[in-house]
Chain A
Amino acid sequence: MSATIITITSGKGGVGKTTATANLGASLADLGYRVVCIDADIGLRNLDVVMGLENRIVYDLVDVVEGHCKLRQAMIRDKHLQDLFLIPAAQTRDKTAVSPQDMVRITDELRQESDWILIDSPAGIERGFRNAIAPADLVLIITNPEVSAVRDADRIIGLIEAEEKGPGKLILNRVKPEMVRRGDMLATDDILDVLAIDLIGVIPEDEAILIATNRGTAASLDSKSKAGKAYRNVARRLNGEEVPFEILQANDGFFRRISRIMKPGGER
């Protein structure tokens, strides 16, 4: 085994890095792979609660770095998927407790016994971000269709290229098809046009994400969730499958559709 290391980052906070990490981790493990998720957000850990493993933490990433435990001891097995693991961040330390070299050393050790290593990056462009991208084979940049998030994504893309970790791939999260149709939300093509980067996923806004997070499970294991399905498709694309991008349908009724057809210029 020699794992592929994927870092999920965004620049801006709150766009869905941790949710994406948890959902991709679960999707890849569900495909039958051995997956280790690492929370690199030291001091503000959250991947543990999103994955529902907060009560099982004994050791964390800083304990491994400082030699207080073996790597294996810090790996928490998922409740549902046998081959999904979490290495949590330390909550009472700061980013300087880990160096980019530490991250490379730890992931080199993990590489031999896993298929995928997913690293959840903290927001920002400082030490925590540098730690997260240091060992990456591929960087996924996640953004939302709003000017602030796209601007930060552009900055991150530049930094990743400067670190020779580029070009990276884009996940566009929290898309509302109805707003896009109305012309009040940046469309996928607009964002790709501005950022000039390859797309690997478009995730619709979906209440199932919050519901899954409330429970500490992954929406990608819920067959009815649209966002969950979109994440499963990202996992399949990472795995080398050609999966067409799903066309997001606005939930609109018969009359709305008629008026759209009648509208001069038609729909985009």
Chain B
Amino acid sequence: MSFFERLRIGRRGTAYTAKKRLQTVLIHDRSGISPGLLEALKVDMIDTLSRHVEIDRGSVQLSLTKERDQQRLVADIPLANRRSRRRAT
């Protein structure tokens, strides 16, 4: 093993990057949901939800994931921080 190869031992090789990139691209390919469509969905969801509840618009996350054979759309929607911790009356 060369000196330079030895330097690399501490970090993962590029195969790891390749696998992660592949997994992401395949999730989009298989579902037919492009990153652009996902963004459009997110904007629509924020608009719809905002009509009913106060949400933290900047922190909404919508992503495609895969668990075993099931592909799913996962949304993380933080509610806006209210000053009062008491229940609304």
Contacts and interface: CB of A to CB of B under 8 A. Distances in A.
Interface of A: 146-147, 150-151, 154-155, 158, 180, 182-187, 190, 193-194, 196, 255-256, 259-260, 263
Nearest to B13: A183
B1 A194 contact: no
Nearest to A260: B1
A147 B15 contact: no
B29 A155 contact: yes
Interface stretch (B18-26, B48-56, B75-83): B18-26
A158 B19 contact: no
B30 interface: yes
Contacts of B5: 182
A260 B26 CA distance: 33
Nearest to A255: B1
A150 B15 CA distance: 13
B15 A154 contact: no
B6 to A, nearest CB: 7
Contacts of B1: 255-256, 259-260
Nearest to B12: A183
A151 B22 contact: yes
Contacts of A151: 22, 25-26, 29
B1 to A, nearest CB: 5
B22 to A, nearest CB: 5
Nearest to B69: A196
A146 B30 contact: no
16 contacts: A147-B21, A147-B25, A182-B8, A183-B12, A183-B15, A183-B16, A184-B13, A184-B14, A186-B15, A186-B19, A194-B19, A194-B26, A256-B1, A259-B1, A259-B6, A263-B9
A144 to B, nearest CB: 12
Contacts of A187: 15
Contacts of B9: 263
Given A255-B1, A260-B1, A154 B26 contact: yes
A150 B25 CA distance: 11
A222 to B, nearest CB: 30
A148 to B, nearest CB: 10
Nearest to A181: B13
A207 to B, nearest CB: 23
Contact of A150 (B13, B16, B22, B30): B22
Given A151-B22, A180-B15, A256-B1, 12 more contacts: A147-B21, A151-B25, A151-B26, A154-B29, A183-B13, A183-B15, A184-B13, A186-B18, A190-B19, A194-B19, A255-B1, A259-B6
Contact of B23 (A158, A180, A183, A194): A194
Contact of B22 (A158, A183, A184, A194): A194
Nearest to B23: A194
The 9 A-B pairs at the shortest CB distance, nearest first, are namely A183-B13, A184-B13, A259-B1, A190-B19, A184-B14, A186-B15, A256-B1, A183-B15, A147-B18
B13 A146 contact: no
Nearest to A194: B22
A256 B9 CA distance: 13
Contacts of B30: 154, 158
B27 to A, nearest CB: 10
A146 B15 contact: no
